[in-house]
Structure 1
């Protein structure tokens, strides 16, 4: 099981406000899905979230998890992590960060890169239109996979 972070009362209040601002009803299922995602450090897929949540709520359907994540992402409450996999991965909005993704085990690690965040975009991008987000995703092979490769 991946490492968990604590879900604070402040996060819950911020989530409730985000739902109100988006015109979404705050349901028990939505709160549980958000709470599980907010306490996860592994950028889980909808399927992974569903497996974790079913332990405490066996009647929760995978379709409900998919639809809820899509609604949250549409309203900017969560982020869909861009990967080359066909399976979407998700995270709650936290401080500005970028991602390292292992091309073997698919682990995703957050990192900060202030120089990129503060750097102006290249001149040729300025005439394109409005840029809403600047995000770096770096692919490679993590140390765990490199070590297991050497011992195989």
Structure 2
């Protein structure tokens, strides 16, 4: 899924501001890895990001992409989600949102829900530890896959 130009620009500004505030250099490789994520809501895995960035920056190494993703996650610029296959999938949408995961094609769709945001944390969970963030993941068959089965 494509992200609007204004949203990509907003994400890129946040990236630059966060790097500067954290003392991280704005290297060409970091910018290209983040730009790859900022321009999609497809939640690609690290290998997909590497392959796509490599088309623009042929000299980039797989190790650089993996290290950059780890750094971006540490800086709070991307979120790593374990979806279906156990592979880490990356998301540059740092607004509070939830995921719908298609169990057929594996696509991940972002959605927003105030009702889910407002769900109370059960006491049994707070007894286990302090909750720092929440995200609901719904699994089912997306409209595209359901349509192709008809």
Q: How far is the alpha carbon of 1:67 from its aligned partner?
A: 1.2
The SS at the match of 1:89 is strand
Ranges in structure 1 where 5+ consecutive residues have no aligned partner: none
Corresponding position of 1:76: 76
Whether 2:105 is the aligned partner of 1:105: answer yes
TM-score normalised to structure 2 length: 0.88
TM-score normalised to structure 1 length: 0.87
Q: What does residue range 24-35 of structure 1 map to in structure 2 within 5 Å?
A: 24-35=24-35
Change (3 A) 1:124 1:86: closer
- Check whether the contact 1:5–1:41 (CA below 8 A) recurs between aligned residues: no
- Check whether the contact 2:41–2:93 (CA below 8 A) recurs between aligned residues: no
The 2-side partners of 1:125 and 1:137 are apart by 17
Root-mean-square deviation over aligned CA pairs: 1.7
The 1-side partners of 2:37 and 2:54 are apart by 14
Corresponding position of 2:147: 147
Whether 2:53 is the aligned partner of 1:59: answer no
Deviations 1:112-149 (A, max 9, x none): 11112122211212222221111101111112222223
The SS at the match of 1:16 is helix
Whether 2:42 is the aligned partner of 1:47: answer no
The 2-side partners of 1:42 and 1:12 are apart by 17
Corresponding position of 1:126: 126
Q: How far is the alpha carbon of 1:34 from its aligned partner?
A: 0.6
Q: How far is the alpha carbon of 1:86 from its aligned partner?
A: 2.5
